Amino acid sequence: MAGSQPRTDRVLSPTRVLAAVIIPFLVLAYAVLYPWPSDTKRLFAWQIKPSMSAMVLGAVYLGGAYFFLRVVRARQWHTVAGGFLPVGTFASLMGITTILHWGRFLHGNLAFWLWVGLYFSTPFLVFAAFVRNQREYPPSTGGNDVLLPPVAAGSIVVAGALSLAMSAYLYLFPHQAISFWPWQLTPLTARMLGAIFALGLAGLGAARERRWSAARVLLQVACVMLVLILIAGVRAYREFDSGNPLTWLFAAGFVGTTVAAMLLYVRMEARARTVAAPSR
C-alpha cells in the first residue's frame, strides 16, 4: 500500500528501556524467594507458605529477568515478540490478585510497595510496548529460517492450551484447586499459580508462527523456569502429598516437559546451524 511504512523488525528504544527497568525488580524478587523461600514474611510483599510456592514464583521471576535481558539485546523484534502478551497477562492477573487479597499482604514491608508499583503499572506498559512494537513485525515467510516441525508446533500449542485451562481453573476456582493440589495452597497462592500457568499463552503462538528464530528465546525461558521448578521440587519434597496421584503426575509432567523442551532445542539448533553453514 502506498505510503505504508516498511516493517523493519526492530526493537524500539522504549521497549528496550522498559525491559531494562523491569529486570532489577525480577532479579531482586528471585534473590529473595528462591534462596530463602521460608523467610518471605520478613523479606517479601506477603508471606508465602509452603516454600514450594515461593520457589515456583522465584523461578518464574528469574525466567522473566532472562527474557527481558534478551529483549534489551535483541536485534529483531520477532525473536522476542511472543513473550509480551503472556507476560502482560501474568502481570494483569497478579495485579488483580493483589486487589482481591489485599488484606493478606504485608503493608509495612518495603517489598509490598515495590510489588504494588510493579503490578499496578507493568500490565499497561507491557501491553502498550507490544502494540507499538508489533507494527514492526515482519511477514513470517521468506528467508532461510528453519521452521518448527508440524508435530513439534502442534505439541507446543496443545501444551499451551492445557496450561491456560489450568490457569483458568486455579484462578477462578481456587478453593476447589486447594483440595487436590500436590502441596498446600491458599486462595492467594492458588491464584498466583493460575497467573503463572497463564504464561502458557506463549505456546499458542506456534499455531501461526513456526519460525525457530521466533520460538528460540521463549524455549530458553521455559527451560530456565522448568529446571528451577524441578530443583525446587527436590528441595521441598517433604511438602508434597505422596499419597496424592497428582503429585506423581505433576512430577512426571514437569520432568517430561523439561526433557522434551531441551531435546527440541538441541535438535532445532542443530538444524539452524546446518542451514546457516555455507555450502561447499
Q: What is the pLDDT of residues 25-46, one digit of tens each?
A: 999 999 999 999 999 999 999 9
Q: What is the pLDDT of residues 134-191, one digit of tens each?
A: 999 987 655 678 999 999 999 999 999 999 999 999 999 999 999 999 999 999 999 9
Least confident window among 5-14, 78-87, 109-118 = 5-14
- Note every long-range contact of 114-119, with CB atoms under 8 Å and residues 24 or more positions apart, other chains counting: 114/25, 114/28, 114/45, 115/45, 115/46, 116/45, 118/22, 118/25, 118/91, 119/91, 119/94, 119/95
pLDDT above 70 coverage of the chain, percent: 96
Measured in whole angstroms, the distance separating CA 229 from the mean position of its chain's CA atoms is 12
- Note every long-range contact of 99-108, with CB atoms under 8 Å and residues 24 or more positions apart, other chains counting: 100/191, 101/46, 101/187, 101/188, 101/191, 104/46, 104/186, 104/188, 105/45, 105/46, 106/41, 106/44, 106/45, 106/46, 106/47
Question: Taking a C-beta distance cutoff of 8 angstroms, is the pair 48, 56 a contact?
Answer: no
Q: Decide if 278 is inside a domain.
A: no
Q: Decide if 6 is inside a domain.
A: no
What is the distance between the alpha carbons of residues 229 and 55, in angstroms, rounded to a whole number? 7
Q: Decide if 125 is inside a domain.
A: yes
pLDDT over 50 (residue 3): no
Q: Decide if 3 is inside a domain.
A: no
Q: pLDDT at position 2, please?
A: 44
Q: Decide if 228 is inside a domain.
A: yes
Residue 37 is part of which domain span? Answer: 13-272
Q: Decide if 2 is inside a domain.
A: no
Q: Decide if 104 is inside a domain.
A: yes
Q: Does residue 221 come out as left (phi exceeding 0), alpha (psi in the -120 to 50 range) or beta?
A: alpha
Q: pLDDT at position 47, please?
A: 96
pTM of the complete model: 0.94
> What's the total number of domains in the chain?
1
pLDDT over 50 (residue 240): yes
Q: pLDDT at position 145, please?
A: 86
Q: pLDDT at position 4, please?
A: 58
Q: pLDDT at position 278, please?
A: 61
What is the distance between the alpha carbons of residues 213 and 148, in angstroms, rounded to a whole number? 10
Q: pLDDT at position 143, please?
A: 63
Q: pLDDT at position 144, please?
A: 73
Q: Cα separations (Å) of 252 from 47, 203, 247?
A: 29, 20, 9
Q: Decide if 74 is inside a domain.
A: yes
- What single-letter amino acid sits at 162? L
Q: What are phi and psi of 34, to 5 degrees?
A: -85, -45
